[in-house]
Amino acid sequence: MKAVNYTDLRRNLKGYLDDVVMDSDVLTVYRPDNTGVVIISMDEYNAMSETKYLTSSPAMLERLRSAGAHMKAEVGVKVSIDEL
């Protein structure tokens, strides 16, 4: 995670934004009075939003946990892509 102040961000905006996108890095921008912000890539934001959505329902969260347990225990039927 990188951290910059507002003035440096303004001077080098393109470079910092390119780094965030290319490296999937998080950029913290410090501002006066502890009013900082965090900049993340659109891909990272979408992944976080999807995770939040999937875990917001107790029923869905239980299904995800159950699926994970089945995968660890190698329970289930393997299907090739051609069989679909």
The full set of domain ranges for the chain reads 2-40, 43-75
Whether pTM > 0.75 for this model: the answer is no
Given a contact cutoff of 8 angstroms between Cβ atoms, the answer to whether 32 and 43 are in contact is: no
Confidence at residue 70, expressed as pLDDT on a 0 to 100 scale? 84
Alpha helices in the chain (DSSP H): 6-11, 13-23, 42-55, 58-72
Residue 84 scores a pLDDT above 80: no
Cβ neighbours, 10 Å, residue 24: 12
Confidence at residue 21, expressed as pLDDT on a 0 to 100 scale? 95
| CATH class (in words) of the domain with range 2-40 | alpha beta
Q: What pLDDT digit, counting tens, does each position of 24-80 carry?
A: 889 999 988 888 999 999 999 999 999 999 889 999 889 888 888 888 888 777 788
Q: Is 37 helix (H, G, I), strand (E, B) or coil?
A: strand
Distance, in Å, from the CA atom of 12 to the CA atom of 17, rounded to the nearest integer, reads: 9
Question: Do strands 37-39 and 27-30 pair parallel, antiparallel, or not at all (unpaired)?
Answer: antiparallel
